Amino acid sequence: MIRVINANKSFGSQRVLKDLSVEFEPGKTNLVIGSSGSGKTILLKSIIGLSELDSGEIWYADTCFNKLDKTKKKEIRKGIGMLFQGSALFDSMTVEQNVSFKLDIFTTLSKAAKKKRVDECLEKVNIRDAGKLLPNELSGGMKKRVAIARAIALYPSYLFCDEPNSGLDPKTAILIDKLIQEITKEFHMTTIVNTHDMNSVLEIGEKVMFIRKGSKLWEGSKADIFNTDNQDLNKFVFATNLARQFKKDQSSSSS
């Protein structure tokens, strides 16, 4: 579980997080949605310690993360997996070497043990045969799969995904969404996904928080999202034909 309590962050005169509080639940895909510039990315960076809050608290289970020193923060970060928007693979490393990267840094496993774990992770994301390839030999969807394999290599308790479907075609995006949801449940991770993609919301939005201009305006499930009277959320949701069709399908199935 991750809790954010009264988070505030400003850059100069621009306030980007405003007394934001939320609880992200383990074993669920927790989605943070909002338009570009809404504060999603700075919230994620603050949770993992890449940006310091001006005030407020970030709790991992019963530990207040942003009050820890660097050494103790590093211990918690060992339990964090990160899926970056652009996959962020090392171009000069093979797929196997990319997935092994955190194992090399944080463990004293033998070469054979690391190879076994890398193979397990690649098997989990269905690209075991790609181990010897370089990133420039991979499709966009395969790069995301490699990034997910790397993120889960250390059996993380927490998984953060920043716009994981950016640059992917709709079919591949759905596959990546489903993969994120599957590994979240298998490892009972607390997974937080930043997205503005309504496809992701409708596919895997077990808990959804909507933020606008740094403030939390709504939270609930993907089922609740169509029954809100929050006008800002309605404008965001129904900007897509997909959302309109989903609500129409729901109405038809219940009649």
Residue 64: pLDDT band (50, 70, 90) is very high
Residue 229's pLDDT band (boundaries 50, 70, 90)? confident
SS (H, E, C) the chain: CEEEEEEEEEECCEEEEEEEEEEECCCEEEEEECCCCCCHHHHHHHHHCCCCCCEEEEEECCEEHHHCCHHHHHHHHCCEEEECCCCCCCCCCCHHHHHHHHHHHHCCCCHHHHHHHHHHHHHHCCCHHHCCCCHHHCCHHHHHHHHHHHHCCCCCCEEEEECCCCCCCHHHHHHHHHHHHHHHHHHCCEEEEEECCHHHHHHHCCEEEEEECCEEEEEECCCHHHHCCCHHHHHHHCCCHHHHHHHHHHHHHHC
- Taking residues 150-162, report their average pLDDT: 91
Q: Is the pLDDT score of 85 beyond 90?
A: no
Q: How much is the pLDDT for 250?
A: 57
Express as a percent the part of the chain with pLDDT over 70: 93
Q: What pTM was estimated for this model as a whole?
A: 0.85
pLDDT value at position 202? Answer: 85
